[in-house]
Chains A and B, each alone.
Chain A
């Protein structure tokens, strides 16, 4: 009885264990009751469906965009002709590139050939994809940003859809404008920002804070996609300028905080911590793709600088303190591709962020710092021209003159060594002093003995020892005992009879 009920408790019908599809295998609740094989099939089907739907949506949007574009452009006919030409040219270029790459690799090695083959396969796959204009760079970050953007834009409902369309249209237009100069592309981007903001404000009556937020997201979305085409493009001399600035900063490695009148004392551990953080932030700027993220790095760096000044001076920093410190941080950090980053931000950041606001202020300061470094001369460091030239050519280093202030880029070991050397020389000096003191002491001792001897001699000379005659009688007592014999003989004991 007991046994039976227990059995009933855990009893599961055999059919429930089987795959829901009825293939005869056992199912698994983790696979929603399917067996592994059927689950894979089902899952795959569902995914395919999802993908299909996504494509359809994308294509519909694309069509709508194109229609909107067609209606907005009166000279559509001529334009599309040029666009198709562009497209053709682009594909031609692409195939040419692939073949050259292949040739190059087959000539070199087997592994290379394999790589080229894989590359080509990828190209083919890409070409096979239904819509090449959407299927562009499939990097993980781009995908993530797109997904976030779509999610964000959904919260804006109808205006959101409109923005999305605008963005797609813009990206498409830009993909045909790669041949234009970077200034023209920058203008397109700026116009686009302005148009979208206006549209949101006047057409959709979106409140200003929400417009601002949406504009940030729009910037993030389009610039993540545009980055690789418009950051440090080959058509400009940005790269040359980058190298020039880098070289310049390297040549100025000897500049000390004192020369720049930096109100920051790195002796304080907290301050040196802040300095390191500020340098990290400014270097990190290069790794960001969105102009606004780059700006955020500059702002973060600036905040750390303000902290460093505040800890050192114990009062809030003013611009008089801030700019020199920022210059010092830039010199110390030598951030990569500084000019490219500044140019990129100037060209493609949403202008309302750049011209006003705190981020804009710090960005302007950074521009000032770089401009100053480029122009920096002897006078601006309070040095004589000869000294400046000697430091620049590396003949001497200011560190030797003021051993207390080490250049910040000297490693810890060298610093320790310098300190030890310093201590050793001090020790040496002290030892020498001890030896000389000891010698002096010895000499003093000798002099003292001599002095005493001399003094004694002097005294002896002055007061010679005179033996006086008076004492002769006394002396005779022992020596001449002549009269003793004359004394009566000692008494003899006598015996009396009685």
Chain B
């Protein structure tokens, strides 16, 4: 889409809409992660019915960033149709469960899929090891970080349950997009006052 001038005479800060896709096996906590992120800042506005599409507005230093978080079905049988979800995505969170090694290998498979569809600077990919509250049952230790480093991904371990580093993941994604990438896809002007629209 055509890139527009970033400053308007009315004065609202430039704002961007980013589509973030959550990928990961079933019950690794994709929905909970998004839910926690959205809920934390806006306690009063909870999604009442569905828990799979969220929007959240993030105020960065230079701009307003609106996240659209798309949850996806994690069952293996839907993997063949999942490419439809991440079409035009700006960021993907590959979520795995640190207490389940299998989910980590599936996250790796997802990365392969993404690498087929996107050029390296088209999309921000973050590897997220969720459920750090289950440290006693940890199965994935340093492999996560090592893997992320070799592939050049963002890496973070989180816990949606105890709200550990959930915000940080999204913040990092937003900043990475805003700061370095020359490839800004959608730009939209939003009112200056932050508002949250949840489904």
Chain A positions within 8 Å of B, measured between CB atoms, are 194, 198, 201-202, 205, 207-209, 261, 302-303, 306-307, 310, 316-320, 322-324, 351-352, 355-358, 361-362, 364, 367-368, 371-372, 375, 379-380
Tell me which of A209, A357, A379 has the highest count of chain B C-beta atoms within 10 A of its own C-beta.
A357
**Hey, which chain A residues are within 8 Å of B77, CB to CB?**
372, 379-380
B26 located at the interface, meaning its Cβ lies under 8 Å from any Cβ of chain A in the complex: yes
Q: Is the interface of B mostly helix, strand, loop or mixed?
A: loop
Contacts of B5 in A (CB 8 A): 202
Q: Are A320 and B50 in contact (CB under 8 A)?
A: no
Q: A320-B31, A322-B73, A368-B85 are in contact. List 17 more A-B contacts (CB 8 A).
A: A198-B2, A198-B4, A202-B5, A205-B8, A207-B189, A316-B48, A316-B51, A318-B71, A319-B31, A355-B88, A356-B186, A364-B70, A367-B81, A367-B84, A371-B81, A371-B84, A372-B78
Question: Quick check: is B75 within 8 A (CB to CB) of the other chain?
Answer: yes
Minimum C-beta distance from B50 to chain A (A): 4
Q: Which residue of B lies closest to A380 (CB)?
A: B77
Collect the chain B residues with CB atoms within 8 Å of residue A302's CB: 50
Q: Is A310 in contact with B31, judged by CB distance below 8 angstroms?
A: no
Within the assembled complex, what's the spacing in Å between the Cα atoms of A303 and B30? 20
- CB within 8 Å of A: which B7-58 residues: 8-10, 17, 19, 22, 26-27, 30-31, 35, 47-53
Closest to A302 in B: B50
- List residues of B whose CB falls within 8 A of some A CB: 1-2, 4-5, 8-10, 17, 19, 22, 26-27, 30-31, 35, 47-53, 68, 70-75, 77-78, 80-82, 84-85, 87-88, 186, 188-191, 199
Specify which chain A residues have a CB less than 8 angstroms from the CB of B78 in the assembled complex.
323, 368, 372
- Residues on A with beta carbons closer than 8 Å to the beta carbon of B72: 319, 323
With contacts A355-B88, A356-B68, A379-B77 known, is A319 near B82, CB below 8 A? no
> Which residues on the B side are within 8 Å of A306 (C-beta)?
49-50
Residues of A within 8 A of B47 (CB): 316
Main secondary structure of the interface of A (DSSP, over half): helix
**Nearest B residue to A195, CB-CB:** B2
Query: Would you mind naming 28 contact pairs between A and B with Cβ atoms under 8 Å apart?
Result: A194-B2, A205-B8, A208-B190, A303-B49, A306-B50, A310-B49, A316-B47, A316-B49, A316-B51, A317-B49, A317-B51, A318-B51, A319-B30, A319-B72, A320-B27, A323-B78, A324-B73, A352-B186, A355-B19, A356-B19, A356-B68, A362-B53, A364-B84, A364-B85, A368-B82, A371-B81, A375-B80, A380-B77
Kindly list chain A residues whose C-beta atoms are within 8 Å of the C-beta of B26: 320
Closest to B47 in A: A316
Q: Check A316–B82 contact: CB distance below 8 A.
A: no
CB proximity of B186 to chain A, nearest CB, Å: 7
| A326 and chain B: residue at smallest CB distance | B73
What is the CB-to-nearest-CB distance from B159 to chain A, in angstroms, rounded to a whole number? 17
Cβ distance A187 to chain B, nearest Cβ, rounded Å: 14
State how many angstroms separate the Cβ of A304 from the closest Cβ of chain B.
Answer: 9
Across the interface, A207 reaches (CB within 8 A) one of B10, B27, B73, B80, namely B10
The CA of A422 and the CA of B188, in the complex, are separated in Å by 62
Which chain A positions have C-beta within 8 A of B48? Answer: 316
Q: Are A317 and B68 in contact (CB under 8 A)?
A: no
For A320, A361, A364, the residue with the greatest tally of chain B CB atoms inside 10 Å of its CB is A320
Chain B positions within 8 Å of A202 at CB level:
4-5
